[in-house]
Chains A and B, each alone.
Chain A
Amino acid sequence: MQPLLTLNRVSKSFGDLHALTEIDLQINSGEIIGLVGSNGAGKTTLLRLMAGVYTPTSGKVLLADGKPVSDMRQVLGVVPESTGLYSRLTAWENIRYHSRMHGVSDEDAWARTAKFAHHLDMMDSLGRHTKGFSRGMRQKTALLRALAHGPSILLLDEPTAGLDITSARTVRRLVNQLKREGGTVIYSTHQLSEAQQVCDRIVIVHNGDIRADGSPDLLLEQTQTTSLEEAYVALTKDAARPRQEDDEGEGRFTGWWRRFFTPKPPMLASRGVEEGE
């Protein structure tokens, strides 16, 4: 497999919070890589670094030819956690907008969209405004949008979150189809079973570190366990830190100001629990 993208000792901090610490990772062409970790582990930050939305605090994210990662966006398809659909546009208008930004003609975008929309049972919904879409339909539309310009790399941030069993299965089948077509997929999830079904390489991210990187069999061998769940627990024994945004409000205030804006629950206050405990 050809190396496609390299993260070389990449760290990312937001103020005092070290979201990622000295990450080394190589993405190869044609792989389906699962980024597995708890909430706040650093998966989304890692995906955003790969997409060039974030700049590393230190280290480098480079394409195989040494070019900056922002040059990869032309061949990148992204499904963010929030799906990012415009509610006053139809599903097709959402897809077309992104395709036009990639410089793809409406005809080509429609041909690809129609092909995948059949698989996802979305053909009849393409002309509808996304405002009334269920979570599953939004997720499918975001996926179609990411595929419409024919990307060679797909970044999926929890693509099956909120989907029913059938839809989640369809998404997984679609990812496998992309792999057969030679595409590279980086797939963020906190469901190990899903990662095991879809990915041929699993990267376990925990508290901003990469704790393991390899095929499911390799992880079991490394941890001397019989299931991926046991392997995950063994690799992530230390408690997960709070998410970045959980700390955001508290960090701004101190003293009585902090007590006013972030009062303690009465039970804790009556026990005399001090600030920061």
Chain B
Amino acid sequence: MSKFSTHRIRAIAKKEVVEFVRDWRTIMAIIVIPLLMFPLLFILFPILLESEAAELDALELTVIVQSNSLEESMEQAIVGAGIDIVMEPLDNQSQLSEPGEDLERVRNGSVDAILRVEKVNSTWDYAILRLSTSERSNEAWNRLLDALNTWESEEVERRISDSGMDVNSTLNPLRWDGDVAQSDVATSGEQAGMVLSLFIPLVLAIWTYSSALQPSIDMTAGERERGTLEALLCLPCTRLELLLGKWVAVATITGVGVILQIFGLLFAIGYLASSSVIGLPELSITTVALIVGAILLFAIMVVAIELALAMRSHSVKEAGSILAPMLLLIVFPALFTQVINLDGIESFWFAVPVVNILLALRELLMNRVIPEHIFVWAFSSIVYAGLAAYYASRQFSREDIVTSLS
């Protein structure tokens, strides 16, 4: 038996991929969900929100206005906000916001909200009774507040004007001259890179780990549980070939998932860019190559660790209960790196496991190519990936992996 055969590694990887993708749930998990996740999140979700907002705008709302001396201009402002009003006299209340006998009317939905207004000298006191768990009542509250704010602004301007003062100079003694966005010297591409760097590394890290989870378990603990590993171990292949074959298969499946997700993300960003919501990041070829390299090193480490830990497990259940909580080891550093200030960051941060790749991705998405940082994260990542691969090879060499539950 030759010591190392790429032919056998290819055969193992091919069989693993074929077997894995023959399950329709897998197709959903590695193709459909990654491809649709970001477009759904960035495009369909806002559309859904807009349609919901339009539905709320179309609501015909009835509000009871309790007042003994309502200004006509205030009444017009409320009616102008699309609210039907029913006038009632205002009873004596210790505080206007105390619901009192009106509580039940608002709670049972017979009225959308109640506005109480009382003139005290030259000012007005008011309160709005509403049911915060009701969409109609909340919409009535929002429309009333808008109407009252508009009326208040007009009243303030009128009073300033009546006292002989200039309205603009009184209300806006300090004013920005020109366009705020125009004054930012960062290009739209750089701004887009900054925004994307806050969540793309997080998503890539979590997705790389989680999409490798199922195939890693299926190809190791799953094989062990189903009793297929013994026949495999009797074949003329080394344990290292077995590990490499399975690694290639898991990396391929994970890679396809991550690439499709990035594709979906770019599509969503392209859509948002066409709507001028966000620009496209400016990345050089070198930066793109470094990003791919960083993800690859991260994937080598993650897949090797997942394969190793899954291979130690006697069953799929055991492997799942070990690997699933370990996602937190990715999530916590990922969240942590979001708040690290990249300006003047110390180089040692780029040597911390997981954090190094996430910081590298953040820097690269902002098109910052700093040789010292690149050297530290690349070197440390190669070391971590090597250690993970060594650990995995040790686990695959264990004798007890042949024992199965079947």
Contacts and interface: CB of A to CB of B under 8 A. Distances in A.
Given A70-B1, A73-B1, A89-B15, A53 B227 contact: no
Interface in B232-251: 232-237
Contact of A48 (B226, B228, B237, B402): B402
Given A55-B399, A82-B404, A101 B236 contact: yes
Interface residues of B, number: 28
Contact of B7 (A14, A51, A76, A103): A103
B15 A74 contact: no
B18 interface: yes
A253 to B, nearest CB: 16
A103 B237 CA distance: 10
B106 interface: no
Contacts of A88: 19, 22-23
A86 interface: yes
A98 interface: yes
B8 A80 contact: no
Nearest to A77: B234
Given A82-B404, A103-B7, A73 B236 contact: yes
Contacts of B402: 48, 53-54
Contacts of A103: 7, 236
Interface in B148-170: none
Contacts of A74: 1, 236
Interface string B121-134: 00000000000000
B49 interface: no
A84 B229 contact: yes
B230 interface: yes
Contacts of B403: 245
B228 to A, nearest CB: 4
A100 B404 contact: no
Q: Is the interface of B mostly helix, strand, loop or mixed?
A: helix
A84 B228 contact: yes
B230 A82 contact: yes
A84 B230 contact: yes
Contact of B11 (A53, A83, A97): A97
A277 B11 CA distance: 52
A85 interface: yes
Nearest to A103: B7
A101 B231 contact: no
Contacts of A76: 234, 236
Contacts of A53: 230, 233-234, 399, 402
A78 interface: yes
A242 to B, nearest CB: 15
Contacts of B229: 84
A264 B19 CA distance: 43
21 contacts: A48-B402, A51-B234, A55-B399, A70-B1, A73-B234, A73-B236, A76-B234, A76-B236, A80-B231, A82-B226, A83-B227, A84-B230, A87-B226, A88-B19, A89-B19, A97-B11, A98-B231, A100-B7, A101-B12, A103-B7, A145-B231
Interface of A: 14, 48, 51-55, 70-71, 73-74, 76, 78, 80-89, 93, 97-98, 100-103, 142, 145, 155, 245
**Which 6 residue pairs are nearest across A and B when measured between Cβ atoms?**
A82-B227, A84-B231, A78-B234, A73-B236, A84-B228, A80-B230
